[in-house]
Protein backbone atom coordinates (compact mmCIF):
# COMPACT_ATOMS: atom_id res chain seq x y z
CA UNK A 1 0.00 0.00 0.00
CA UNK A 2 2.89 2.40 0.70
CA UNK A 3 4.09 2.02 -2.91
CA UNK A 4 0.58 2.55 -4.22
CA UNK A 5 0.27 5.78 -2.22
CA UNK A 6 3.74 6.96 -3.26
CA UNK A 7 2.83 6.41 -6.90
CA UNK A 8 -0.51 8.22 -6.36
CA UNK A 9 -2.39 5.05 -7.30
CA UNK A 10 -4.87 5.62 -4.50
CA UNK A 11 -7.69 3.38 -5.76
CA UNK A 12 -5.25 0.46 -5.61
CA UNK A 13 -5.28 0.82 -1.83
CA UNK A 14 -8.94 -0.19 -1.79
CA UNK A 15 -8.21 -3.14 -4.05
CA UNK A 16 -5.32 -4.32 -1.91
CA UNK A 17 -7.43 -4.18 1.25
CA UNK A 18 -10.13 -6.12 -0.59
CA UNK A 19 -7.54 -8.78 -1.50
CA UNK A 20 -6.46 -9.04 2.14
CA UNK A 21 -10.10 -9.55 3.16
CA UNK A 22 -10.51 -12.31 0.59
CA UNK A 23 -7.30 -13.99 1.74
CA UNK A 24 -8.56 -13.96 5.33
CA UNK A 25 -11.87 -15.40 4.17
CA UNK A 26 -10.03 -18.23 2.40
CA UNK A 27 -8.06 -19.02 5.54
CA UNK A 28 -11.25 -19.02 7.56
CA UNK A 29 -12.99 -21.28 5.03
CA UNK A 30 -10.08 -23.72 4.71
CA UNK A 31 -9.75 -24.11 8.46
CA UNK A 32 -13.52 -24.09 8.89
CA UNK A 33 -13.33 -21.83 11.91
CA UNK A 34 -15.15 -18.70 12.98
CA UNK A 35 -13.47 -15.35 12.38
CA UNK A 36 -11.01 -15.14 15.28
CA UNK A 37 -10.03 -12.01 17.18
CA UNK A 38 -6.59 -12.16 15.54
CA UNK A 39 -8.09 -12.15 12.04
CA UNK A 40 -10.51 -9.36 12.96
CA UNK A 41 -7.58 -7.35 14.32
CA UNK A 42 -5.59 -8.03 11.15
CA UNK A 43 -8.39 -6.60 9.00
CA UNK A 44 -8.57 -3.53 11.22
CA UNK A 45 -4.81 -2.99 11.20
CA UNK A 46 -4.65 -3.15 7.43
CA UNK A 47 -7.31 -0.45 7.21
CA UNK A 48 -5.64 1.73 9.82
CA UNK A 49 -2.33 1.44 7.97
CA UNK A 50 -3.98 2.45 4.70
CA UNK A 51 -5.70 5.47 6.26
CA UNK A 52 -2.44 6.56 7.92
CA UNK A 53 -0.55 6.50 4.62
CA UNK A 54 -3.32 8.39 2.88
CA UNK A 55 -3.35 11.01 5.65
CA UNK A 56 0.41 11.46 5.28
CA UNK A 57 -0.12 12.09 1.56
CA UNK A 58 -2.93 14.60 2.19
CA UNK A 59 -5.37 12.32 0.41
CA UNK A 60 -8.14 13.17 2.83
CA UNK A 61 -11.03 12.80 0.40
CA UNK A 62 -9.94 9.27 -0.49
CA UNK A 63 -9.24 8.40 3.14
CA UNK A 64 -12.58 9.75 4.30
CA UNK A 65 -14.43 7.82 1.60
CA UNK A 66 -12.69 4.58 2.54
CA UNK A 67 -13.17 5.18 6.26
CA UNK A 68 -16.90 5.63 5.67
CA UNK A 69 -16.98 2.47 3.56
CA UNK A 70 -15.16 0.56 6.33
CA UNK A 71 -17.28 2.06 9.16
CA UNK A 72 -14.24 3.72 10.69
CA UNK A 73 -13.61 7.23 11.99
CA UNK A 74 -11.26 9.63 10.22
CA UNK A 75 -10.10 13.10 11.25
CA UNK A 76 -7.86 15.57 9.45
CA UNK A 77 -6.90 19.25 9.27
CA UNK A 78 -9.70 20.75 7.19
CA UNK A 79 -7.72 23.89 6.33
CA UNK A 80 -4.78 21.93 4.94
CA UNK A 81 -7.15 19.58 3.13
CA UNK A 82 -8.91 22.52 1.48
CA UNK A 83 -5.60 23.95 0.26
CA UNK A 84 -4.64 20.60 -1.23
CA UNK A 85 -8.04 20.18 -2.88
CA UNK A 86 -7.88 23.67 -4.37
CA UNK A 87 -4.41 22.99 -5.77
CA UNK A 88 -5.68 19.87 -7.51
CA UNK A 89 -8.70 21.74 -8.87
CA UNK A 90 -6.38 24.28 -10.44
CA UNK A 91 -4.07 21.59 -11.82
CA UNK A 92 -6.59 19.21 -13.42
CA UNK A 93 -9.66 19.54 -15.64
CA UNK A 94 -12.79 19.88 -13.52
CA UNK A 95 -16.38 19.04 -14.37
CA UNK A 96 -17.28 22.71 -14.77
CA UNK A 97 -14.34 23.22 -17.15
CA UNK A 98 -15.79 20.67 -19.55
CA UNK A 99 -19.46 21.39 -18.91
CA UNK A 100 -20.13 25.00 -17.88
CA UNK A 101 -22.48 25.32 -14.93
CA UNK A 102 -25.23 26.67 -17.15
CA UNK A 103 -25.82 25.69 -20.74
CA UNK A 104 -28.94 26.89 -22.51
CA UNK A 105 -30.41 27.91 -19.14
CA UNK A 106 -30.11 24.47 -17.57
CA UNK A 107 -27.65 23.09 -15.05
CA UNK A 108 -25.37 20.32 -16.32
CA UNK A 109 -25.11 17.82 -13.46
CA UNK A 110 -22.61 15.00 -13.10
CA UNK A 111 -24.50 12.02 -14.54
CA UNK A 112 -25.75 9.13 -12.45
CA UNK A 113 -25.12 5.54 -13.49
CA UNK A 114 -27.99 4.29 -15.65
CA UNK A 115 -29.12 0.81 -14.58
CA UNK A 116 -32.75 0.91 -15.73
CA UNK A 117 -33.59 0.22 -19.39
CA UNK A 118 -36.41 2.78 -19.53
CA UNK A 119 -34.21 5.53 -18.09
CA UNK A 120 -31.38 4.57 -20.44
CA UNK A 121 -33.65 4.91 -23.47
CA UNK A 122 -34.75 8.40 -22.42
CA UNK A 123 -31.27 9.59 -21.44
CA UNK A 124 -29.74 8.23 -24.64
CA UNK A 125 -32.26 10.18 -26.72
CA UNK A 126 -31.39 13.30 -24.73
CA UNK A 127 -27.69 12.70 -25.36
CA UNK A 128 -28.24 12.29 -29.11
CA UNK A 129 -30.05 15.63 -29.18
CA UNK A 130 -26.81 17.33 -28.07
CA UNK A 131 -24.75 16.01 -31.00
CA UNK A 132 -23.30 18.83 -33.09
CA UNK A 133 -24.86 18.40 -36.58
CA UNK A 134 -21.79 20.08 -38.16
CA UNK A 135 -19.49 17.58 -36.46
CA UNK A 136 -21.55 14.52 -35.44
CA UNK A 137 -19.32 12.75 -32.94
CA UNK A 138 -19.68 11.02 -29.57
CA UNK A 139 -16.77 10.06 -27.33
CA UNK A 140 -16.70 6.77 -25.48
CA UNK A 141 -14.67 4.97 -22.86
CA UNK A 142 -15.05 1.75 -20.90
CA UNK A 143 -14.14 0.86 -17.32
CA UNK A 144 -13.84 -2.66 -15.96
CA UNK A 145 -13.41 -4.27 -12.58
CA UNK A 146 -11.15 -6.97 -11.19
CA UNK A 147 -10.41 -10.39 -12.62
CA UNK A 148 -13.87 -11.67 -11.70
CA UNK A 149 -15.52 -9.41 -14.31
CA UNK A 150 -14.85 -10.44 -17.91
CA UNK A 151 -16.79 -7.71 -19.67
CA UNK A 152 -17.33 -3.99 -19.13
CA UNK A 153 -18.29 -2.56 -15.74
CA UNK A 154 -19.24 0.84 -17.15
CA UNK A 155 -19.68 2.48 -20.56
CA UNK A 156 -19.28 6.23 -20.81
CA UNK A 157 -20.67 8.23 -23.74
CA UNK A 158 -20.24 11.97 -24.18
CA UNK A 159 -20.78 14.80 -26.62
CA UNK A 160 -19.27 18.24 -26.07
CA UNK A 161 -22.42 19.18 -24.15
CA UNK A 162 -23.57 16.14 -22.16
CA UNK A 163 -22.52 12.72 -20.85
CA UNK A 164 -24.18 9.51 -19.74
CA UNK A 165 -22.84 6.53 -17.76
CA UNK A 166 -24.26 3.10 -18.54
CA UNK A 167 -24.29 0.18 -16.11
CA UNK A 168 -23.48 -2.63 -18.53
CA UNK A 169 -23.58 -5.56 -16.04
CA UNK A 170 -27.01 -4.58 -14.68
CA UNK A 171 -28.61 -3.97 -18.06
CA UNK A 172 -27.03 -7.02 -19.68
CA UNK A 173 -28.72 -9.36 -17.21
CA UNK A 174 -32.25 -8.83 -18.52
CA UNK A 175 -33.94 -9.24 -21.88
CA UNK A 176 -35.39 -5.72 -21.69
CA UNK A 177 -32.01 -4.27 -20.83
CA UNK A 178 -30.31 -6.02 -23.75
CA UNK A 179 -33.01 -4.87 -26.17
CA UNK A 180 -32.48 -1.25 -25.15
CA UNK A 181 -28.70 -1.64 -25.24
CA UNK A 182 -29.00 -2.96 -28.80
CA UNK A 183 -31.31 -0.15 -29.91
CA UNK A 184 -29.09 2.54 -28.35
CA UNK A 185 -25.45 1.54 -27.87
CA UNK A 186 -25.49 -1.17 -30.53
CA UNK A 187 -27.10 1.15 -33.07
CA UNK A 188 -24.69 3.98 -32.26
CA UNK A 189 -21.55 1.90 -32.72
CA UNK A 190 -22.84 0.62 -36.08
CA UNK A 191 -23.89 4.10 -37.26
CA UNK A 192 -22.93 5.49 -40.64
CA UNK A 193 -23.76 9.09 -39.70
CA UNK A 194 -22.04 9.51 -36.31
CA UNK A 195 -18.41 8.91 -35.43
CA UNK A 196 -17.81 7.18 -32.10
CA UNK A 197 -14.46 8.34 -30.78
CA UNK A 198 -12.22 6.31 -28.50
CA UNK A 199 -8.61 6.48 -27.38
CA UNK A 200 -6.54 3.33 -27.91
CA UNK A 201 -9.88 1.56 -27.70
CA UNK A 202 -9.29 -2.02 -28.90
CA UNK A 203 -9.58 -3.48 -25.39
CA UNK A 204 -12.63 -1.32 -24.67
CA UNK A 205 -14.41 -2.86 -27.64
CA UNK A 206 -13.35 -6.34 -26.58
CA UNK A 207 -14.80 -5.73 -23.12
CA UNK A 208 -18.11 -4.65 -24.59
CA UNK A 209 -18.27 -7.72 -26.83
CA UNK A 210 -17.66 -9.98 -23.83
CA UNK A 211 -20.23 -8.27 -21.60
CA UNK A 212 -23.38 -10.08 -20.42
CA UNK A 213 -26.18 -10.53 -22.95
CA UNK A 214 -29.53 -12.32 -22.83
CA UNK A 215 -30.83 -13.86 -26.04
CA UNK A 216 -29.48 -15.51 -29.16
CA UNK A 217 -27.66 -12.46 -30.57
CA UNK A 218 -25.40 -10.19 -28.54
CA UNK A 219 -26.60 -6.60 -28.14
CA UNK A 220 -23.17 -5.30 -29.23
CA UNK A 221 -22.50 -5.99 -32.89
CA UNK A 222 -20.80 -3.99 -35.63
CA UNK A 223 -18.37 -1.19 -34.77
CA UNK A 224 -18.18 0.60 -38.11
CA UNK A 225 -18.68 3.99 -36.44
CA UNK A 226 -15.64 3.70 -34.17
CA UNK A 227 -12.66 5.97 -34.77
CA UNK A 228 -9.56 5.57 -32.62
CA UNK A 229 -8.21 9.09 -32.18
CA UNK A 230 -4.74 7.98 -31.05
CA UNK A 231 -3.43 7.52 -34.65
CA UNK A 232 -4.95 10.89 -35.57
CA UNK A 233 -3.09 12.49 -32.66
CA UNK A 234 0.18 10.94 -33.86
CA UNK A 235 -0.39 12.36 -37.35
CA UNK A 236 -1.19 15.80 -35.95
CA UNK A 237 1.79 15.82 -33.59
CA UNK A 238 4.30 12.97 -33.63
CA UNK A 239 5.67 13.96 -30.22
CA UNK A 240 2.36 12.93 -28.62
CA UNK A 241 2.16 9.43 -30.11
CA UNK A 242 3.38 7.62 -26.97
CA UNK A 243 1.50 9.72 -24.42
CA UNK A 244 -1.63 8.70 -22.54
CA UNK A 245 -4.98 10.44 -22.71
CA UNK A 246 -4.29 12.71 -19.74
CA UNK A 247 -1.10 14.20 -21.19
CA UNK A 248 -2.61 14.48 -24.65
CA UNK A 249 -5.56 16.31 -23.15
CA UNK A 250 -3.17 18.73 -21.46
CA UNK A 251 -1.61 19.52 -24.84
CA UNK A 252 -4.89 20.20 -26.66
CA UNK A 253 -7.17 21.45 -23.89
CA UNK A 254 -4.72 23.11 -21.51
CA UNK A 255 -5.08 20.85 -18.47
CA UNK A 256 -4.52 17.13 -17.89
CA UNK A 257 -7.15 14.68 -16.70
CA UNK A 258 -7.00 13.59 -13.07
CA UNK A 259 -6.39 9.83 -13.30
CA UNK A 260 -6.46 9.11 -9.56
CA UNK A 261 -9.69 7.10 -9.93
CA UNK A 262 -8.44 5.01 -12.85
CA UNK A 263 -8.00 1.81 -10.86
CA UNK A 264 -11.18 2.18 -8.83
CA UNK A 265 -13.52 -0.67 -7.96
CA UNK A 266 -15.69 -0.03 -11.00
CA UNK A 267 -17.91 -3.05 -10.49
CA UNK A 268 -19.13 -1.81 -7.10
CA UNK A 269 -22.29 0.27 -6.75
CA UNK A 270 -22.93 3.05 -6.11
CA UNK A 271 -20.01 4.82 -7.75
CA UNK A 272 -18.65 7.85 -5.92
CA UNK A 273 -18.96 11.37 -7.31
CA UNK A 274 -15.24 11.41 -8.12
CA UNK A 275 -15.57 8.16 -10.05
CA UNK A 276 -18.49 9.47 -12.07
CA UNK A 277 -16.68 12.71 -12.89
CA UNK A 278 -13.56 10.80 -13.92
CA UNK A 279 -15.54 8.41 -16.12
CA UNK A 280 -17.53 11.12 -17.89
CA UNK A 281 -14.48 13.32 -18.52
CA UNK A 282 -12.56 10.47 -20.16
CA UNK A 283 -15.27 10.17 -22.82
CA UNK A 284 -15.62 13.96 -23.11
CA UNK A 285 -11.86 14.34 -23.66
CA UNK A 286 -12.04 12.26 -26.84
CA UNK A 287 -14.51 14.74 -28.32
CA UNK A 288 -12.58 17.80 -27.12
CA UNK A 289 -9.31 16.54 -28.60
CA UNK A 290 -10.93 15.51 -31.89
CA UNK A 291 -12.51 18.94 -32.25
CA UNK A 292 -9.13 20.63 -31.70
CA UNK A 293 -7.44 18.40 -34.28
CA UNK A 294 -10.25 18.93 -36.79
CA UNK A 295 -10.11 22.69 -36.32
CA UNK A 296 -6.34 22.73 -36.82
CA UNK A 297 -6.69 20.63 -39.97
CA UNK A 298 -9.45 22.89 -41.31
CA UNK A 299 -7.41 26.03 -40.57
CA UNK A 300 -4.31 24.58 -42.20
CA UNK A 301 -6.27 23.61 -45.34
CA UNK A 302 -7.90 27.03 -45.53
CA UNK A 303 -4.53 28.77 -45.29
CA UNK A 304 -3.09 26.60 -48.06
CA UNK A 305 -6.06 27.39 -50.30
CA UNK A 306 -5.54 31.13 -49.87
CA UNK A 307 -1.85 31.07 -50.76
Interatomic CA distance for residues 229 and 221, integer angstroms:
21
Beta strands in 6-161 (DSSP E): 102-103, 106-107, 113-114, 137-143, 154-158
Confidence of residue 129 (pLDDT cuts 50, 70, 90): very high
pLDDT of residue 299 exceeding 70, the answer is: no
Interatomic CA distance for residues 228 and 197, integer angstroms:
6
Interatomic CA distance for residues 246 and 6, integer angstroms:
19
pLDDT of residue 169 exceeding 80, the answer is: yes
Length of the chain counted residue by residue: 307
Residue 197 β-bridge partners: 139, 227
pLDDT of residue 302 exceeding 70, the answer is: no
Predicted confidence at residue 222, as pLDDT, reads: 97
Interatomic CA distance for residues 205 and 203, integer angstroms:
5
All residues at 6 or more sequence positions from 158 whose CB lies less than 8 Å from its CB, including other chains: 138, 139, 140, 164, 280, 283, 284, 286, 287
Does the global pTM surpass 0.85? no
Query: What value does the mean pLDDT of the chain take?
Result: 87
Among 8-22, 126-140, 145-159, 166-180, the minimum mean pLDDT is found in: 8-22
Q: Which of 156, 158, 121 is nearest to 137 (CA)?
A: 158
User: Residue 130 — φ and ψ, nearest 5°?
Assistant: -95, 0
The pLDDT tens digits of the residues spanning 227-272 come to: 999 999 999 999 999 999 999 999 999 999 998 788 778 998 999 8
Amino acid sequence: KSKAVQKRQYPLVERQVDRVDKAIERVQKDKRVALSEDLIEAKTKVREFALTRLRESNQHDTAHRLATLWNMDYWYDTEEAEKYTQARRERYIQWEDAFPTKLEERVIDVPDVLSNHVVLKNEFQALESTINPKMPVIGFDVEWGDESLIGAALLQLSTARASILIDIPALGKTKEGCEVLESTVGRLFASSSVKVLGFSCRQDLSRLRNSPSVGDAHWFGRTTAVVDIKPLIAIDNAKLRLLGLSRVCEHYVGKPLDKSEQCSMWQQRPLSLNQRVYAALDAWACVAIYEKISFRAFTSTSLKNTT
